[in-house]
Amino acid sequence: MQRELVEKISLTQLFILVSAFLFGSAIVVGIGGEAKQDSWIAVIVACLLSIIPVWFYTFLLSRIPEKNLFEIMEIVLGKVISKVFILLYILYFFYVSARVLRDFGELIVGDMLVNTPIEVISITFMLFVAYILYLGLEVLGRFSEIYAPYLMGSIFAIGILLLFSRELHVKNVMPILPEGIGPVIGTVFPELITFPFGELVAFMMILPYASKVRYAGKTTIFALIVSGLILAYSSFVQIATLGPEAKLRSKFPLLTATGEISLWDFIERVDLIIIFVVMFGILVKVSIFFYGGLKGLELVFNRPYRAFIYPMAMIIAFMSIIISKNFAEHISEGISMVPWIIHFPFQFGIPLLLFPFVLWKAKVLKSEGKKR
């Protein structure tokens, strides 16, 4: 009954973490709005296309087994050069988690606690993230197992409740593909492929800790497909309820859509309860990015990552506030700048750059292993 030294997460937990990660902020801010009524098609296309990069990530990891992205970089590029890249990645991970946190803060301040300053939300939420990561990755995994049924259940319940409230108008989704596949592709690149799907690059820090590493890649891809379909479903529900124009205008389309639910004059304003579910997705997303960054710090500064948790959590809370002046700026940055300048290099650029080195190093290691 001894506790294992390396923390492990089971495949079920990995599956749930990946799905919750993908729902995370994507389900809050709404994705693929530019594709108008075809955004659900765009989501499916993006999801299927992003199998390629995710497969590529797991392939990279499988070359040098039981090492995470940063450790691979250290092995392949040497201590000094790898440190530069790792520090860049740490910044990237922290920045993205700050962005996700900002999404959530805006949501709470905008819809739930109108008079509360956003700083309070950021700090309290980061305190929780710090607490759960302090308890460890294993705890995060089990924690997500508890909340996953509520997440999945409520996403489906929204659609059903909207149907019964007679708010689901299929005519809003028509016509399908009026301008051909062009707008859909335009949304998939660069927006959808990088957010939320490309962000799975953060799982390169988690996958080596799965209990059955061999199946970890397959589980991730399976989770990617399932959650892609659920996201498409959610997107479909949003369009059918609000219509493409209103969905594009709305800050948080899912919440606006759920706000339409009204049954027996009793079940109303469900959006406040949906925040519960959204909060879980956000938590997983912030935690995983944060964990990735912390693992990087652990490697660079050679200290257990728990030493960094509380100060870094507070820095992220602060970052989430200073990254943009208001919500409009935050969103427009997210659409116009972040995918090209930040997501692309870290999600595809650096991994592709690593690819030949990893192959070469794996070969060297293999032949060394044979010699012994």
Partner 1 sequence: MGWIKKILLSQKSYNQDKSLKHEQLSLGKEAPPLSKDLKENQSNIEKAFENAKDFKIENIHVGNREGMICYLNSMTDTSLLAEKIMVPLSNSSQQDRSITNLEEFESYRKEFFSGVGYHFHDKLHGLIDDVLAGYAGVIVDGQPKGLSLHVGNIEYRPIEEPSTQTVIRGPKEGFTESMDTNISLIRRRIQNTSLKFETMTVGKDTRTSVTIAYIDGVINEGILDEVKKRIKKIRTHAIFDSGNVEEYISDKNMTVFPLIYNTERPDSAAANLLEGKAVIIVNGSPFVLIAPTVFSDFFEATEDYYQSFFIGSFIRLIRYASFLIALTLPSLYVALTAFHHALIPTDLLFSLQAQREGVPFPAVIELLIMEVTFEILREAGIRMPRAIGQTISIVGALVIGQAAVEAGLVSNALVIVIALTALATFVSPIASFTAAARLLRFIFIFMAAVFGLYGILLCLFFMVAHLVSLRSFGVPYLAPIAPFIAEDQEDVFLRFPFFSNKRRPHYLKTESPLKNPESESPTPPRSKKGGGS
Minimum CB separation of residue 250 from partner 1 in Å reads 18
- Residue 341 as a binder of partner 1 (CB under 8 A): the answer is no
DSSP three-state, residue 210: strand
Place of tokens 């929204």: 158
Residue 328, token pair as written in the block: 């409009």
- Residue 13 as a binder of partner 1 (CB under 8 A): the answer is yes
Residue 352, token pair as written in the block: 């592709």
Strand-pair partners of 268: 262
Looking at residue 119, its amino acid is E
Residue 241, token pair as written in the block: 């309820």
Q: Where are the beta strands (DSSP E) in 162-259?
A: none
Spatial contact of 47 and 40, defined as CB atoms under 8 Å apart: no
Minimum CB separation of residue 117 from partner 1 in Å reads 12
d(CA 319, CA 303): 23
Minimum CB separation of residue 278 from partner 1 in Å reads 10
Strand-pair partners of 37: none
Minimum CB separation of residue 138 from partner 1 in Å reads 8
Q: Which stretch binds partner 1 (CB under 8 A): 24-32, 120-128, 169-177, 179-187?
A: 120-128
- Residue 10 as a binder of partner 1 (CB under 8 A): the answer is yes
- Residue 17 as a binder of partner 1 (CB under 8 A): the answer is no
d(CA 260, CA 238): 11
Q: Of 155, 153, 156, 133, whose CA–CA distance to 143 is shortest?
A: 133
Q: Interface residues for partner 1 in 226-285 (CB under 8 A)?
A: 265-266, 268-269, 272-273, 275-276, 279, 283
- Residue 1 as a binder of partner 1 (CB under 8 A): the answer is yes
Q: Interface residues for partner 1 in 145-174 (CB under 8 A)?
A: 145-147
What residues line the site for partner 1 (CB under 8 A)? 1-3, 10, 12-13, 108, 112-113, 116, 120-121, 124-125, 128, 131-132, 135-136, 139, 141-143, 145-147, 265-266, 268-269, 272-273, 275-276, 279, 283
